Amino acid sequence: MNRTRPRTRQRSSLRRGLRAVGFPALLVGLLLGLLAGGPAAGAEGAGGSAAAPVAGERRSYTGTIDGAEFRVEVPERWNGTLMLFSHGYFPPGSPPPEIFLANRSETATWLLDHGYALAASKFTGDGTGYLYEPALRDQIALLNWFEANVGRPRRTVATGTSMGATIAVLLAERNPHRFDGVATVCGEYDVHATFNMALDMTFAVKTLLAPGQDIELVRASDPEGSTQALLQAVEKALTTPQGRARLALVAAFSNVTGWYSAHQPRPTDPTERIRQQAAWIHNAYIFGTGPSGRLDIERRAGGNPSFNVGVDYRRQLARSDQRDPVKKAYRAAGLDLRADLDRLAAAPRIGPDPAAVRYMYRYAVARGTIPVPTITLHTTGDAGALPDQERWYAEQVRRVGHPDRLRQLYVERGQHCSLNAAEEIVTLRALLRRIERGRWPDLGPRRLNAAASGFDSGYHKVLDFGTFEEAVMPPAFTRFTPPRLLRSSR
């Protein structure tokens, strides 16, 4: 029998963990799975041996495989399909309070109620950090365990959120005969590009907003000091029109949108839009992937994987979806945009460690081979995991894979991973229908919104990582074409 942990306890644990490291938003949207089910009763031990299932009841298993804790839930009447979930990024020092089985608790409950088995690994260690490499091993080891101790699934679907979306896609690419489908939420498929664009932004903050300060952007000897100096520069810049114009320029180098709220409409006031861009820069790209946030990936990769040697920031701005707001902000502030671009061009650049670059290509950049039907779901205003990544992934699929196997859905909403369970379930049902029937159903926004509206309000809750509050939000599927990814690795 499954032991249940109250949701209020889970949420407070999550909130304390994030605030403790000052990392309130970014890729931690991966933690969206505030699951109602706590750690399951079952097997414990290095071998991952299973407890004997109880006839006529939901079967719950926990254990450890080669140092990676896992959790499995099998419904009373299993339909033969297994959902293998990959969780997102948790910052070092803030391990996940439990092993999540889906992005939203309501999604996991619905899947179990409809006969789907769920499985997930915490990944080697305590579940924190950029775990791309160990996760690829741990999830296959868990799949092997499931087949040996529960049964061979008729179908296996890899699912994942944010960092976990990358893992889900790579699992299918590298093990095409083990999976029948992939479903991702707020995914990044070119993580190397993410870190390069983060470097572009911190480089611009240092050059334009903190000139002359001793700030190390990579391989930092004093990462906390450098992080604090960058944060203070952003906070000071918000107080003047000139500073806000430069923040708009910083955001443009990664196509960062000015929509930080999951519960409020997209801002139309230029000053408010820049303030919300600054929130992304502050929380996602300085706290998240700045000097301190890079320590984990630099340790795993054996050096710094990011570079801006040879980057033409004048050209990057020209390609940015945010270029026109930047020009307007500079004109309003009475600043010379060309002079600031010249300053960036003249500033000393940063080169990568070749071995670390190879690591990123090996473990954190999808190829686009798409061996099985794949569906992706993303909010249009997500600047923690840019929707631009979806466009890049589709381009790779068209180049080397099978475009007929890919469908990409968008929800008109701000913040990271700010999706409700109804939107997720409708997306999963579309993938399952494609797997079963060999063709995609009608995925027009009107039909999707109608289907999602059929769920009661309990399935329409959306968590905002800016406030840590939930609100009922109506389904908001929309047609959307993301901008091009500005620092793509391929």
Specify the long-range contacts of residues 211-216, CB closer than 8 Å, at least 24 apart: 215/291, 216/291
Contacts of 347 (CB under 8 A, 6+ apart): 203, 207
Q: Which two tokens stand for residue 240?
A: 């003047």
pLDDT value for 7: 33
pLDDT value for 46: 38
- The CATH class given to the 7-189+366-478 domain equals alpha beta
Residues of the chain predicted below pLDDT 70: 1-56
Contacts of 140 (CB under 8 A, 6+ apart): 171, 175, 178
pLDDT value for 401: 87
pLDDT value for 56: 57
* Pairing of β 155-161 and β 117-121: unpaired
pLDDT value for 57: 80
Please calculate the CA angle 281-391-371 and round it to the nearest 5 degrees: 125
pLDDT value for 383: 97
Please say whether the beta carbons of 120 and 96 come within 8 A.
Answer: no
pTM (2 d.p.): 0.90
Which tens digit of pLDDT belongs to each residue from 280-336?
A: 999 999 999 999 999 999 999 999 999 999 999 999 999 999 999 999 999 999 999
Domain ranges of the chain: 7-189+366-478, 192-359
